[in-house]
């Protein structure tokens, strides 16, 4: 795929010649976005900062090798971000896969009860429990407004597969949020049933 215009071309020229001002400018443009993406995928601020740091340092280190016209710099950086996150998630929680069955998770009811009135935390928890690839697709498309074509390229899959991931992500998320809402309202009535 050939991209005729990269919005970061001006910064790239500076980066390739080792100009630190270019790196500063690149961070001004994209540090928030890269950090946000990592944060949404990982759900951990410290890890997200580590990922953002790695991505920018890799960009700096590899800049002289950059071949213009093959990909947008931001797409490449998002690709590195998602791969770094996937590596961390694989080490952190290997039990989550795309084939995870729809089984009620009753392991952290106390936690759920605590956050029942805090919708943002509830959504965050639900996103954290999404299978990794669904989580990445959702984060890219919903929060970062990445097009499906770019999202597919970042994840190195076909557009069809990317769309399927998004559909599954929304479905899983919906089911999880409904289930959490049910649990948080039913628990006071019937603790014994939910403790199963």
Partner 1 sequence: MTPIDKNSNMPPESEAAAELLDTQLDAALQSYTVDAPSDLLAARILKMAKATPQQKQTFQDIETGNIRQENVLWREKRYGFGIAALLLISLTFAFGTLNFAPSDTESDTAEIWLEAAADLGMSDIYDWVEGQTNSMDDTR
Cβ contact 75:154 at 8 Å: yes
- How many CA atoms lie within 13 Å of 176's alpha carbon, on the beta-carbon side? 21
Which residues ranging from 111 to 130 are in contact with partner 1 (CB under 8 A)? 119-120, 122-124, 127
Binding mask 72-111 for partner 1 (x = CB under 8 A): ----------------------------------------
Task: Please compute Rg for the chain using Cα positions.
Answer: 19
Closest contact distance (angstroms) between CB of 94 and partner 1 is 25
Task: Quote the distance between the C-alpha of residue 168 and its chain's center.
Answer: 15
| Angle in degrees, CA 28, 31, 36, rounded to 5 | 140
Q: Is 168 in the site for partner 1 (CB under 8 A)?
A: no
Q: Is 174 in the site for partner 1 (CB under 8 A)?
A: yes
Q: Where are the alpha helices (DSSP H) in 3-118?
A: 9-16, 20-42, 45-62, 73-92, 109-114
- Residue 146 makes CB contacts below 8 A (sequence gap 6+) with 78, 140, 154
Q: Is 173 in the site for partner 1 (CB under 8 A)?
A: yes
Crossing angle for the helix pair 73-92 and 45-62, to the nearest 10 degrees = 140
Closest contact distance (angstroms) between CB of 34 and partner 1 is 9
Cβ contact 73:12 at 8 Å: yes
Nearer to partner 1, 118 or 158 (CB): 118
**Nearest in space to 151 (alpha carbons), one of 65, 37, 51:** 37
Q: Is 36 in the site for partner 1 (CB under 8 A)?
A: yes
Nearer to partner 1, 24 or 158 (CB): 24
Of these, 6, 8, 47, 48, which contacts partner 1 (CB under 8 A)?
48
Closest contact distance (angstroms) between CB of 79 and partner 1 is 19
Q: By CB under 8 A, which span of 50-58, 83-91, 93-101, 145-153 interacts with partner 1?
A: 50-58
Footprint on this chain of partner 1 (rule: CB under 8 A): 18, 20, 23-24, 27, 31-32, 35-36, 39-40, 45, 48-49, 52-53, 56-57, 60-65, 67, 119-120, 122-124, 127, 142-143, 170, 173-174, 177-178, 181-182, 185
């Amino acid at each position: 795929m050939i991209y005729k215009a990269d919005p970061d071309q001006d910064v790239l020229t500076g980066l390739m010649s080792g100009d630190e001002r270019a790196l500063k400018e690149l961070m001004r443009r994209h540090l928030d976005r890269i950090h946000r993406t990592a944060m949404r995928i990982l759900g951990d601020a410290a890890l997200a900062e580590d990922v953002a740091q790695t991505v920018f340092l890799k960009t700096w280190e590899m800049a002289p090798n950059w071949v213009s016209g093959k990909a947008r710099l931001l797409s490449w950086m998002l690709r590195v971000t998602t791969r770094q996150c996937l590596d961390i998630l694989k080490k952190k929680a290997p039990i989550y896969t795309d084939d995870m069955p729809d089984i009620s998770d009753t392991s952290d009811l106390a936690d759920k009860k605590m956050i029942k009135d805090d919708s943002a935390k509830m959504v965050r928890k639900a996103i954290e429990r999404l299978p990794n690839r669904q989580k990445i697709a959702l984060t890219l498309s919903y929060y970062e407004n990445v097009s499906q074509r770019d999202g597919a390229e970042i994840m190195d899959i076909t557009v069809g597969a990317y769309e399927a991931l998004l559909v599954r992500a929304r479905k899983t998320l919906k089911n999880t949020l409904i289930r959490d809402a049910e649990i948080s309202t039913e628990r006071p009535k019937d603790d014994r049933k939910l403790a199963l």
